[in-house]
Structure 1
Amino acid sequence: MMRNRTFILGATVLAVALTGLSAPSFAAKNKLMPEQRAERMIKRLDTSGDSKVSLQELQARISNNFKSFDTNGDGEISRDEIEAKRQAFREARKAWRDARAKTGGERDQAIARLREARPAMLPGMRPRAFARIDADGNGTLSAAEVAAATERIFKRRDRNGDGMIDAADFTRKV
């Protein structure tokens, strides 16, 4: 009887210990470290393949993103256009969640719609940032206002001032 209790107690302690050891590894998979986020961002924006992002590369990406938000083609982005993009993403994400349990074409279509609807990186997406970037105060963001904001963001991120953003700019403490 005593051996049985000792065995059960030992097995329980071992199970708890193994669970405690594996929990941090699961958490680490879900949350990226700053270096990993920087690496992913650089990989997405680096079109020249030099593991660095120049202002021109960033401006080109932001210009394409601007066009995806400017749905009426008037050369300006309104708060309504930003909200419409967000709403389309919410709907695509809901459709993807509903299709996750399914297989085949329906699931693939839901994933494609989700990727297409995903809001792109654009200065001014948040309400307070929108107001800051809207330099002329007309309630819309022009391509010039977004380009100027992108340049300010780039200069702030380029901590060593070499005209390129690389992994060192994300880890350098200023």
Structure 2
Amino acid sequence: MRSFLISTVVLAAATAALADGHKVPGAHFIENWDLNGDGQVSAEETAEKRAEIFTMFDQDEDGTLNQAEYDLFDETRRADIVANAGGRKGPMQVVDKAMDRKFNDLDGDGAVSRAEFDEQSVKFFEMIDRTGDGMVDAADFKPKG
């Protein structure tokens, strides 16, 4: 059931992105992470969305993303980035890096606990808030120039 839910969520996001034909830098990220619909993403929204993602992929509900669960998370995330966000290069590269197992597995044991994942939410937000204004919007995804 959970695998079906994951597939449905990814498919819905992909369909919405393709229908809009996003050209705005970071539009796919903002569309999916802007929980209150104001066109920008706050630190609180990133923490809430990361918590939802963790819950979605913790299939055995033990509070840890084990090897198989994180493998599914990696596969799903990378497919979404390729399909909707222009691939793993460019502006979405930092988002992909900050969701990666290596970034989130603070104790290096190969599994990611909810506490580890939650702890990295602040660092995740700081990495994507490139303008340093406390909110993530299209300006944070523009190429450095």
Secondary structure at 1:164's aligned position in 2?
coil
Task: Name stretches of at least 5 consecutive residues in structure 2 with no aligned partner.
Answer: 1-17, 77-94
Cα deviation code 1:10-39 (max 9, x no counterpart): xxxxxxxxxxxxxxxxxxx9xx77x53511
Name 2:118's counterpart in structure 1: 147
- The 1:152–1:83 alpha-carbon spacing in structure 2 relative to 1, beyond 3 Å, is same
Aligned runs of 1:1-174 on 2, under 5 Å? 35-84=23-72, 129-171=100-142, 173=144
State the shift of 1:140 in Å.
1.1
Q: Which protein shows a greater Rg?
A: 1
What amino acid maps onto 1:169 in structure 2? D
State the shift of 1:155 in Å.
0.5
What amino acid maps onto 1:76 in structure 2? T
* Contact 2:97–2:103 under 8 Å retained in 1: no
- The 1:123–1:159 alpha-carbon spacing in structure 2 relative to 1, beyond 3 Å, is closer
Name 2:10's counterpart in structure 1: none
What amino acid maps onto 1:62 in structure 2? R
State the shift of 1:147 in Å.
2.1
Task: Name stretches of at least 5 consecutive residues in structure 1 with no aligned partner.
Answer: 1-28, 90-120
State the shift of 1:54 in Å.
0.4
State the shift of 1:150 in Å.
2.9
- The 1:85–1:144 alpha-carbon spacing in structure 2 relative to 1, beyond 3 Å, is closer
Secondary structure at 2:26's aligned position in 1?
helix
Q: Normalized against structure 2, the TM-score is what?
A: 0.60
